[in-house]
């Protein structure tokens, strides 16, 4: 049976031998990589950060007493202020004022520098768990925020951070004051507009009341009472007119049959009538007979012949005025009887015929009146004499009084009818006036309510404006101003050194492993076994001479020197990049004393 080939196995001693054989290249790689990391830690430009903390303080006066006009959320206002502060003009002014980014001005444009500064400015909110007073539910609320600026110079970073903090504080005051002022100005303008509209409505209402004083709905009852009273007065006037008209007809009938002059006694002892009186009497009888009988009736024919004979004897033409008066009396009687009876009633038929006969006689007298002018003038002297009959004079005076009363009552009736017409017109126009008046009144009341509400809001806005001007409202308070940074926030040089040290060790070990894998030399018993696949009979150890021993001592000294240099370099790095050695020493002693004391 064949024996299996011997497979050499590596143990810890073999790996240590590899590290010992490759220590020189490995050390070179470690030193080079660590030196590169140290150079990166040393040459990397530091970045400093100065941070200020601004507290969002609630308003001093309780909100239920004075309501602020600024109602947005705190972080929303911070974002708005950030946009206003980080304008191109402000950032360019800060860059020029503090000579920022001097190494980039020759290569970067102004917009690139402004973008770089925006990235270097940091705003971070600070939130807390609070109870929302409106809902009573727990929620997150922004109670403060931090404002920071990063740069390569600690002094500039602090000054720029302070400048930015001042800008934020001033912009917050300016923004809140502007909002309060804008709200007050808006409400004041709206109040003026509503006041002008209210005055215009009052003027329209006053004009409507002035032009329609008797047509307003408030005086409608008064108008109705006036109409009712005017109707009663008109009824009374018409009643009086009818009564006096009847009395007038009676008196005119009495006068028509009476001689206005004192009559002379005749042969039979009765008063003898004058020819003129006889003519007047016959004419009256003729009119009555014509109204009652036809034109060929014997009495009518007889009266007509007698009238013509007396007209030739006296030389008087027909008395047109008397005929007209008789016509008026006949018409009045006809109107009165028509109101009581029908058109076929005998008295109505008789009066109609009488009116027709009088109208025909008046028309005939008008045609013959021109040729009879001279005769009328000759007879006028006797006809125009004053009446001497006492009874006639008395009846004539009564008739004149009745005519005066009728005229007065008729004038009163005309006035009452005109008054009723005017009041009826007012009552007809009252609904339209009431509609316009009510529309103006409703508009005026609604505008007055809006105006009063707006005045109350304007007062609240004025108080809120004063609250903001006195800085008693919600405001930004700087509780932690930006400080001069003592250490850069980046780079973390210690972390770079540690990472560089770890990477350098890894690079050294990797270099040793690579070189070992590429080396085909045979070393030790295991190397012989790996090639011959059989163990050697004996192993002759390496015999060092004096030169080998001198080289070994020299390497040992160089190793100690290298370790001392590494320790010194580490101490220097700790001193300059982490913490002073004396401070570190005292910290270690304090900790030691606290542990074992």
> CA-CA distances (angstroms) from residue 479 to 145, 165, 311, 398?
11, 11, 138, 118
How far apart CA 169 and CA 55 sit, in angstroms, is 11
**Among 146, 134, 141, which Cα is nearest to 73's?**
141
Whether the Cβ atoms of residue 316 and residue 276 lie closer than 8 Å to each other? yes
Whether the Cβ atoms of residue 304 and residue 357 lie closer than 8 Å to each other? no
Q: Return the structure tokens found at 488.
A: 């850069």
Q: What pLDDT tens digit does each residue of the chain (597 aa) get?
A: 344 444 556 666 666 777 777 777 888 888 888 888 878 877 788 888 899 998 887 766 655 555 555 556 677 888 888 888 889 999 999 988 888 888 888 888 989 999 999 999 999 888 887 776 666 677 777 788 899 999 888 888 999 999 999 998 888 888 888 887 888 888 888 888 888 988 998 888 888 878 777 777 777 788 788 888 888 888 888 888 888 888 888 888 777 767 666 554 444 545 555 666 666 777 667 666 766 666 667 776 777 777 777 766 666 666 666 667 667 777 777 787 777 777 777 777 777 777 787 777 777 766 555 444 444 444 444 444 466 677 777 888 888 888 888 888 889 888 888 888 888 887 888 888 888 888 888 988 988 898 888 888 878 777 777 766 666 667 788 888 998 888 888 877 778 878 888 888 888 888 878 877 776 666 666 666 666 666 766 666 667 778 877 877 887 888 788 778 878 877 777 776 666 777 777 777 777 776 655
Q: What is the DSSP string of 371-418?
A: TTHHHHHHHHHHHTSPP--HHHHHHHHHHHHHHHHHHHHHHHHHHHHH
Whether the Cβ atoms of residue 70 and residue 173 lie closer than 8 Å to each other? no
- Among positive and negative, which fits the CA dihedral 432, 433, 437, 438? negative
Helix (H, G, I), strand (E, B) or coil at 53: strand
Whether the Cβ atoms of residue 101 and residue 116 lie closer than 8 Å to each other? yes
How far apart CA 41 and CA 244 sit, in angstroms, is 138
Q: Return the structure tokens found at 184.
A: 């007050």
CB-based burial label for 37 (10 Å; 0-12, 13-18, 19+): buried
**Among 157, 2, 171, which Cα is nearest to 79's?**
171
Report H helices in 212-319. 220-256, 275-292, 298-314
Q: Return the structure tokens found at 356.
A: 């027709």
CB neighbour list of residue 526: distance below 8 Å, 6 or more residues apart: 8, 10, 14
pLDDT (0 to 100) of residue 382: 44
How far apart CA 258 and CA 389 sit, in angstroms, is 9
Helix (H, G, I), strand (E, B) or coil at 55: strand
In the block, tokens 């400080």 appear at 483
Q: Are strands 48-57 and 138-151 parallel, antiparallel or unpaired?
A: antiparallel
CATH top class, domain 48-189+465-480: alpha beta
* Inter-axis angle of helices 493-518 and 546-577, nearest 10: 160
pLDDT (0 to 100) of residue 380: 44
pLDDT (0 to 100) of residue 176: 80
DSSP letter assigned to residue 218 = G
Domain boundaries defined on the chain: 1-41+499-541, 48-189+465-480, 227-263+271-433, 553-597
Helix (H, G, I), strand (E, B) or coil at 271: strand
Q: Return the structure tokens found at 35.
A: 């030196």
Whether the Cβ atoms of residue 395 and residue 258 lie closer than 8 Å to each other? yes
CB neighbour list of residue 389: distance below 8 Å, 6 or more residues apart: 258, 259, 260, 261, 262, 263
E strand or H helix at 30 = helix 23-43
- Among positive and negative, which fits the CA dihedral 288, 290, 294, 295? positive
How far apart CA 174 and CA 84 sit, in angstroms, is 11
How far apart CA 564 and CA 355 sit, in angstroms, is 165
CB neighbour list of residue 281: distance below 8 Å, 6 or more residues apart: 257, 273
CB neighbour list of residue 126: distance below 8 Å, 6 or more residues apart: 53, 142, 143, 144, 145, 146
């Amino acid at each position: 049976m064949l024996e299996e080939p011997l497979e050499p196995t590596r143990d810890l001693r073999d790996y240590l031998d590899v590290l010992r054989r490759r220590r020189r290249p490995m050390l070179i790689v470690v030193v080079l990589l660590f030196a590169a990391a140290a150079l990166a830690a040393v040459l990397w430009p530091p970045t400093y950060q100065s941070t200020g903390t601004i507290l969002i303080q609630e308003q001093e006066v309780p909100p239920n007493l004075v309501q602020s006009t600024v109602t947005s959320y705190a972080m929303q206002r911070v974002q708005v202020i950030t946009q206003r502060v980080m304008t191109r003009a402000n950032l360019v002014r800060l860059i020029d004022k503090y000579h920022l980014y001097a190494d980039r001005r020759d290569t970067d444009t102004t917009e690139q520098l402004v973008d770089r500064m925006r990235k270097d400015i940091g705003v971070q909110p600070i939130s807390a768990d609070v109870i929302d007073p409106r809902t009573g539910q727990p929620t997150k609320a922004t109670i403060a925020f931090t404002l920071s600026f990063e740069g390569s110079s600690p002094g500039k970073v602090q000054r720029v951070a302070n400048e930015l903090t001042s800008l934020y504080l001033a912009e917050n005051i300016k923004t809140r004051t502007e909002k309060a002022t804008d709200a007050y100005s808006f409400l004041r303008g709206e109040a003026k507009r509503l006041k002008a509209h209210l005055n215009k409505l009052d003027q329209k209402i006053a004009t409507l009341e002035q032009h329609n004083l008797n047509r307003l709905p408030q005086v409608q009852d008064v108008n109705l009472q006036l109409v009712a009273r005017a109707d009663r007065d008109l009824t009374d006037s018409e009643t009086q007119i009818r009564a006096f008209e009847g009395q007038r007809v009676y008196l005119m009938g009495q006068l028509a049959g009476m001689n206005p002059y004192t009559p002379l006694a005749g042969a039979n002892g009765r008063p003898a009538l004058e020819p003129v009186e006889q003519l007047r009497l016959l004419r009256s009888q003729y009119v009555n007979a014509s109204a009652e009988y036809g034109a060929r009736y014997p009495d009518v024919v007889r009266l007509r012949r007698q009238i013509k004979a007396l007209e030739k004897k006296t030389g008087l033409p027909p008395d047109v005025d008397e005929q007209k008066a008789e016509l008026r009396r006949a018409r009045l009687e006809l109107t009165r009887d028509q109101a009581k009876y029908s058109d076929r009633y005998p008295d109505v038929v008789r009066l109609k015929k009488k009116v027709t006969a009088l109208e025909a006689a008046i028309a005939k007298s008008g045609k013959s009146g021109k040729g009879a002018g001279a005769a009328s003038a000759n007879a006028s002297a006797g006809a125009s004499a004053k009446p001497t009959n006492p009874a006639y004079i008395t009846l004539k005076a009564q008739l004149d009084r009745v005519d005066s009363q009728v005229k007065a009552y008729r004038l009163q009736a005309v006035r009452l009818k005109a008054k009723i017409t005017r009041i009826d017109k007012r009552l007809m126009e009252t609904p339209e006036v009431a509609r316009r008046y009510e529309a103006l009144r409703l508009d005026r009341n609604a505008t007055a309510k809006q105006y009063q509400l707006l005045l109350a809001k304007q007062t609240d806005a004025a108080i809120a404006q004063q609250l903001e001007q006195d800085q008693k409202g919600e405001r930004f308070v700087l509780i932690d101003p930006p400080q001069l940074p003592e250490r850069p926030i980046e780079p973390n040089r210690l972390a770079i050194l540690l990472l560089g040290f770890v990477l350098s060790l890894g690079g050294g070990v990797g270099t040793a492993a690579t070189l070992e894998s590429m080396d085909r030399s045979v070393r030790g018993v295991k190397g012989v076994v790996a090639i011959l696949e059989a163990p050697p009979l004996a192993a002759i150890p390496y015999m060092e001479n004096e030169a080998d021993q001198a080289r070994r001592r020299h390497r040992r000294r160089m190793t100690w020197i290298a370790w001392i240099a590494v320790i010194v370099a580490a101490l220097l790095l700790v001193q300059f990049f982490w913490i002073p050695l004396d401070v570190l020493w005292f910290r270690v002693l304090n900790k030691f004393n606290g542990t074992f004391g």
